[in-house]
Each structure stands twice: as structure tokens, then as C-alpha cells.
């Protein structure tokens, strides 16, 4: 396994004009673990620049899956991985142990997050915000490349201007790379890029793209992240929502158009939320791969 410097996301980003990366999630309890490995076989064949693995809100079992999958991606496919890590429900001691485990497994990229507050879990009290986790990682494991989340339409509890300042805090605390929340109107992302540049946030910002798969997912997105839907998107959903395959195809086309426009506007990275659906990312990859390779040539 190649690890350390060569696998760090900020290095990869520095050496490329544009990066194209994927997000996967560990299998939920009771779902067959095999399917994630089958998915990964297909996703890795699409040669993303790196694959990030989400982290559940709850306990160590889930975090262990994040660790296992992150290290598996590097060992099996030689593709750099990034482990998501949330802090709101964790003690400093626990986070230290996770960082040690990640490093012991060659995982040197972490997406440092607060995590969502859940009514059934009392926050551990050691961390209130992602910026505190970022500072903690920077102080305790400076060899780790830290990424952080940013919000083209503001965080659901915050607001655009407040969250741009939060982004600056995260940068000042040690975040070297950002991945955005999903959005369907690229103008939100361009506004974020402009404000970040004004605030001298000198880090790569990847655009998080979520292809629409079905109606339930759209409803979940609104309640979880509060993103807005442009007229064009709304019309598309209305038109095709009664036919699963038609909506899926329209969603792939929409994501392809969104990415094409982002690439034309000098966006430095695309992070595709694959939802563990390799057949969907495969089509999007086919549609945009030539452009990404052309820009990096
Ligand atoms: P923060 O940056 O801490 O912000 C959270 C809120 O606190 C915001 O409203 C902000 O305005 C406010 N805030 C921040 N700092 C301050 C301050 N100093 N004073 C006052 N207010 C402040 N969740 C998971 O559980 N697992 C995952 O794997 C996961 N992956 C994600 C990947 C991406 C790319 C994104 C965008 C989100 C992901 N999330 C994940 C969701 C994330 O945990 C939630 O959006 C969470 O509510 C906020 O996380 P954050 O790291 O942005 O928090």
C-alpha cells in the first residue's frame, strides 16, 4: 500500500486542474455487507481520484466500518480514501483513538465534521463545532490532511454569510480542502467560490453533486439540508416522477449538465455522492470523463 504524502487529498488536488471523486456510505446494520464490496468493485473501476466514506452519527461500530472500508479501498484498489469523522457525540479520548487507528491503517485523509444533533444521543461535550475538531486533529495528528464541509446555501441552522465565516474559521484552524453540501443551482456554488476567494480561503473547494434517484430521496434532501430547487429542477421532477426509470435518467442528465457547467467555470473538483449506486455514477462518469481528462491533460 502506498501511504503518507502521496495519498493526501491536498497533494492530489494540487497536482491536478480538476479532481473527480466519489462518496460511499458503509452498509446500514442488517444490510448485506457484500453489496458494498460489490459496489466498490464497480466504483473503483471508474477510477475516481479518491473515495470518501461517511461516518454514522452513533457509536463505534459504525465508525469501525468507516475505518475498515477506508483502509480496504486503499489496500485493494490503490485509490486514496478519506474517512469522514464527526465529533459532537465523541470524547477527545475517543477521537484520539480513531485517529491512531486510521493512521495505523494508512488512512491520512479525514473529513472533519460536527455531525447532526440527534434527540436520542446526548452530545459528549468535548466538541461543539467542526472547527474545534479540526484544531484538535491539527494539534494531535499534523500529518493528517484535513478536509471540511461547506455550504453553498448556508447550513440549515446557519445562513450563507454566517457559514462563510465558519468556513474561514475552519480554514484558519487547519482545513486544507473543502467539500460542499449538495445543491441544484450552480449559481449558489459560484457565490461560495467568490466569497471564499475574497476571504483568502486558499483551499480547493469541491462541488458535492447528488444525482436524483427517486422521489423519497428528494423529500429527504429538503428536510435534511434545506437545499432549494430551481424551476428547471422542479419541472423535471414533476414531469418524470411517476416513472422510476424516467426520473432516474432525467436525474443523471441533470447531474451531467450541472457538472459540465461547473467544469466550464473553473471549479477545482467534483465530489459525486454515489449513494452506493455504481450503475448511476458509471453513466455520469462516462458523460463527463472526457472533459475531466481533457482539462487535466
Ligand atoms: P459546523 O461547521 O460545526 O457547523 C454546524 C452549525 O454550527 C452551523 O449552523 C454553523 O453555522 C454553526 N457554527 C459553527 N461554528 C460556530 C461557532 N463558532 N459559533 C456559532 N455557531 C457556529 N454527517 C454525518 O453524520 N456523517 C457524515 O459522514 C457526514 N458527511 C458529510 C459530508 C459533507 C460533504 C457534508 C456537507 C455534510 C456531511 N454530514 C455528515 C452532515 C454534517 O454532519 C451536518 O451538516 C452537520 O449539521 C454540520 O456539520 P459541520 O461539520 O458543517 O458543522
Tens digit of each residue's pLDDT (9 = 90 or more) over 212-238:
998 888 888 878 888 999 999 999 999
Can you tell me the distance from the alpha carbon of 47 to that of 76, in angstroms, rounded to the nearest whole number?
13
- Confidence category of residue 185, pLDDT binned at 50, 70, 90: very high
**Residue to substitute in 89, 98, 115 for testing ligand 1 pocket (most ligand atoms within 8 angstroms of CB):** 115
Determine if ligand 1 sits within 6 Å of the CB of residue 210. Answer: no
Q: Is 143 marked active-site?
A: no
Among 65, 116, 119, 58, which residue's Cα sits nearest to residue 90?
58
Q: Give the model's pLDDT for residue 226.
A: 86
User: Which of left, alpha, beta for 4 (phi over 0: left; psi -120 to 50: alpha)?
Assistant: left
Average pLDDT over residues 16-41: 89
Residue 294 CA, ligand 1 centroid: distance in Å: 34
Residue 130 CA, ligand 1 centroid: distance in Å: 6
Is the pLDDT reported for residue 5 higher than 90? no
E strands, the chain, in order: 19-24, 51-53, 81-86, 109-113, 145-150, 177-180, 204-209, 269-273
- Confidence category of residue 11, pLDDT binned at 50, 70, 90: very high
Predicted TM-score (pTM) of this structure: 0.96
Q: Give the model's pLDDT for residue 120.
A: 84
Average pLDDT over residues 43-52: 97
Q: Give the model's pLDDT for residue 2.
A: 47
Can you tell me the distance from the alpha carbon of 10 to that of 69, in angstroms, rounded to the nearest whole number?
21
103-135 core/surface letters (b: 16 or more CB in 10 A; e: else)? bebbbbbbbbbbbeeeeeeeeeebbebbbbbbb
Is the pLDDT reported for residue 186 higher than 70? yes
- Confidence category of residue 3, pLDDT binned at 50, 70, 90: very low
Tens digit of each residue's pLDDT (9 = 90 or more) over 233-266:
999 999 999 999 999 999 999 999 999 999 999 9
- For the chain, give the percent of residues with pLDDT over 70: 95
Determine if ligand 1 sits within 6 Å of the CB of residue 54. Answer: yes
Q: Which of 5, 23, 143, 282 is catalytic?
A: 23
Q: Which comes out higher in pLDDT, residue 62 or 117?
A: 117
**Residue to substitute in 116, 121, 166 for testing ligand 1 pocket (most ligand atoms within 8 angstroms of CB):** 166
- Confidence category of residue 60, pLDDT binned at 50, 70, 90: low
Residue 148 CA, ligand 1 centroid: distance in Å: 9
Burial of 23 (0-12, 13-18, 19+ CB in 10 A): buried
Q: Give the model's pLDDT for residue 194.
A: 98
- The chain-wide mean pLDDT, for the chain, equals 93
- For the chain, give the percent of residues with pLDDT over 90: 83
Average pLDDT over residues 263-287: 97
Determine if ligand 1 sits within 6 Å of the CB of residue 58. Answer: no
CB 240 within 8 A of CB 215: no
Q: Give the model's pLDDT for residue 1.
A: 41
Determine if ligand 1 sits within 6 Å of the CB of residue 177. Answer: no
Residue 149 CA, ligand 1 centroid: distance in Å: 7
Amino acid at each position: 500500500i502506498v501511504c503518507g504524502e502521496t495519498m493526501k487529498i491536498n497533494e492530489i488536488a494540487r497536482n491536478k486542474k480538476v479532481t473527480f471523486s466519489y462518496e460511499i456510505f458503509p452498509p446500514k446494520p442488517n444490510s448485506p455487507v457484500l453489496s458494498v464490496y460489490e459496489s466498490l468493485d464497480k466504483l473503483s473501476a471508474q477510477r475516481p481520484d479518491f473515495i470518501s466514506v461517511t461516518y454514522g452519527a452513533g457509536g463505534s461500530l459504525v465508525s469501525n466500518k468507516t475505518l475498515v472500508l477506508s483502509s480496504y479501498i486503499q489496500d485493494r484498489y490503490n485509490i486514496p480514501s478519506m474517512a469522514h469523522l464527526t465529533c459532537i457525540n465523541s470524547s477527545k479520548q475517543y477521537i484520539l483513538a480513531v485517529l491512531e487507528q486510521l493512521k495505523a491503517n494508512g488512512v491520512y485523509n479525514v473529513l472533519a465534521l460536527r455531525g447532526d444533533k440527534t434527540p436520542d444521543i446526548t452530545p459528549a461535550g468535548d466538541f461543539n463545532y467542526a472547527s474545534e475538531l479540526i484544531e484538535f486533529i491539527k494539534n494531535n495528528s499534523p500529518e493528517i490532511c484535513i478536509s471540511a464541509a461547506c455550504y453553498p446555501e448556508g447550513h440549515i441552522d446557519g445562513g450563507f454569510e454566517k457559514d462563510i465565516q465558519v468556513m474561514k474559521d475552519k480554514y484558519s484552524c487547519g482545513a486544507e480542502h473543502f467539500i460542499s453540501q449538495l445543491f441544484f443551482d450552480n449559481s449558489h456554488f459560484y457565490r461560495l467560490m467568490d466569497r471564499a476567494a475574497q476571504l483568502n480561503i486558499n483551499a480547493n473547494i469541491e462541488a458535492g453533486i447528488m444525482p436524483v434517484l427517486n422521489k423519497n430521496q428528494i423529500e429527504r434532501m429538503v428536510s435534511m439540508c434545506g437545499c432549494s430547487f430551481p424551476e428547471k429542477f422542479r419541472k423535471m421532477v414533476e414531469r418524470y416522477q411517476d416513472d422510476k426509470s424516467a426520473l432516474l435518467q432525467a436525474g443523471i442528465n441533470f447531474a451531467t449538465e450541472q457538472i459540465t457547467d461547473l467544469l466550464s467555470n473553473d471549479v477545482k473538483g467534483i465530489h459525486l455522492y454515489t449513494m452506493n449506486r455504481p450503475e448511476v455514477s458509471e453513466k455520469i462518469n462516462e458523460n463527463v470523463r472526457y472533459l475531466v481528462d481533457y482539462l487535466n491533460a
